[in-house]
Amino acid sequence: MENVMRNFFLFLSRNKILTRSAKKYGLRFGAARFVAGETIEQAVAVIKDLNRKGLKATVDYLGEFVDNEREADKMVNNCIKAIEVIGREKLDSQVSLKLTSTGMDLSNDIVMANMKRIMEKAKENHVFVTIDMEDYERCEKTLRIFKQFRSEYDNIGTVIQAYLFRAIQDMKDLDEYAPSLRLVKGAYKESPQVAFPNKPDVDENYKKIIRMHLLHGHYTAVATHDDAIIEFTKQFVKENEIPNDQFEFQMLYGIRTERQLELAKEGYTMRVYVPYGTDWYGYFMRRLAERPANVSFVLKGMLKK
């Protein structure tokens, strides 16, 4: 049943008609639990509150299915605005972005020019940028673009998804770049030809890439809400005398808030992924797909309205 629900919400997340419709109705139907608002000002208020509680942040202006240069330019301008605000307000926050939102599906020239604008502004404001990983068909291109910018900038990282068979080889290929990586399980629906279909296999591969990246001495962001993976990481760094400043935990805004605070109080770096914007639908659907508890929360919220 859980797999059926997951597949259903992942299917909905890719529906362009529903994505456009969702923009008209704002953050209703429980989405506000997972999205910090529609404007950077609303996101800043959330980040300031997180910082006061000892939590770091990474902010993401949501956007999917960018299919024209004008829309890509709008996405880039919003990303640059977020970087400038982080710098001006001295927020303890990074920025995350999807290459499709900056024009990767339009042309290589467009995405490279847009990323150059973003990275120059990020460098100027001392803001770290993480390139989010998307679905499998865009994985190779995303890593290629990351390598090009990593060769020029220190303040850039990307994401490796444990459920892909290629994850370990990708990390070996990236090793010479001494990358800062966010390691995740993966949130897209992929073919069993390219991804592990069963959770135990994903979990085991996840542990492998965590061990691999930490032992190679690279900065590691373990992005998970899974207590078993969190405890594994804590034990592994202790046994291998890996300092706390070489890794961090990351979780999504609105999910396991108390656990986030607990980890910060234990002395671990805890970063919260804070999305904002009007194009929230695809992100929201993937959050529902990930955890059945999210669905029940939304249904309760709708019944109260």
Task: Tell me the chain's radius of gyration from C-alpha atoms.
Answer: 18
Written as six digits, the tokens of 15 are 């529906």
CA distances from 96 to 58, 61, 76, 197, 253 (A): 6, 8, 12, 27, 13
Confirm whether 132 is a catalytic residue.
yes
Q: Rounded to 5 degrees, what angle do the CA atoms 105, 109, 111 make? A: 50
Tell whether the torsion through CA atoms of 99, 128, 188 and 282 is positive or negative.
negative
266, burial (CB in 10 Å: exposed 0-12, middle 13-18, buried 19+): exposed
Exactly one of 132, 170, 203, 279 is catalytic; name it: 132
CB of 57 within 8 A of CB of 271?
yes
Q: Say which residue the tokens 């829309």 belong to.
A: 71
CB of 63 within 8 A of CB of 279?
yes
Confirm whether 203 is a catalytic residue.
no
CB of 62 within 8 A of CB of 279?
yes
Exactly one of 6, 150, 182, 287 is catalytic; name it: 182
Return the active site residues: 132, 182
